[in-house]
Structure formats: C-alpha cells, structure tokens
Amino acid sequence: MKNIDREEILNTSKWIRFLFMLGYAFAINFVISISIGLAFIQFLFFLFTSKPNTAIANFNTHLIEFVNDTLAFLLFTTEEKPFPFKKEDEEVVTESEIIEAEIEESDHIESSESGETNI
C-alpha cells in the first residue's frame, strides 16, 4: 500500500472544490424540489388548457441545464463550476438567422441595382 501524502490531503484547491460540491449538492436538492412543484403546476395548465404554459416551460429549460451542469461537476465529469460561475458560451448563430440575413442582403442588392433607396 502506498504511503499517504500529507501535502495531497492538505491541498487547499481540493478542499475549496469540496466546499463548492457541498453548496451545489444543497442547491441541486432545492432545484429538484422546485422542479417537482413546477411539474405539478404544468400538469394543471395542461389539464385545463390542453397545452403547457410556455413561461414555465422556458424556465424549466434553465433548471434542466443547471441540474445537468451541477451533476457533471459533482461527479467529476468536468472541472467547470455551474451557474453562477459558469462561463457564458459564444452566442450560437442558428441556420434560420443565416438564411434571414442572406435574404435581407439579396433584397438590398436588388433594390440598389434597380435604383431604389431603402430608408
């Protein structure tokens, strides 16, 4: 059996990660409880209106992302801390935005060729 390296055990970065893990463990427990309540509320909307509430559905996507990021951090899949310490990704340009920009550009070229001015 290997000798225990005292410096490895007393490494402050490991203990800081442990404190973050404790905090996120409590946070994820709270988020799961909130999610169960929101699921029940969403069912009531579905029961009475035959469609889910879009505001709650949008909020749920943020909760799902938080739970996913937190579990990845807690299970050592990543070293990146979840919200609010998570670095924001570059804004992803969707295909519909690209097509829309190309249409606007072609309209602008056509109007300038015909001598029209768009204000």
14 domain-assigned? yes
According to the model, what pLDDT value does residue 25 have?
95
15 domain-assigned? yes
According to the model, what pLDDT value does residue 91 have?
53
Mean pLDDT, each 10-residue run in order, the chain (119 residues): 78 92 96 96 95 94 94 93 78 59 64 58
CA distance 2 to 108: 72
Both tokens assigned to 2: 């290997």
18 domain-assigned? yes
Both tokens assigned to 33: 């409880």
Total number of domains in the chain: 1
96 domain-assigned? no
Q: What is the pTM of this model?
A: 0.66
Range(s) of the domain holding residue 33: 6-88
34 domain-assigned? yes
55 domain-assigned? yes
20 domain-assigned? yes
> What is the three-state SS of 29-77?
HHHHHHHHHHHHHHHHHHHHHCCCCHHHHHHHHHHHHHHHHHHHHHCCC
105 domain-assigned? no
**38, burial (CB in 10 Å: exposed 0-12, middle 13-18, buried 19+):** middle
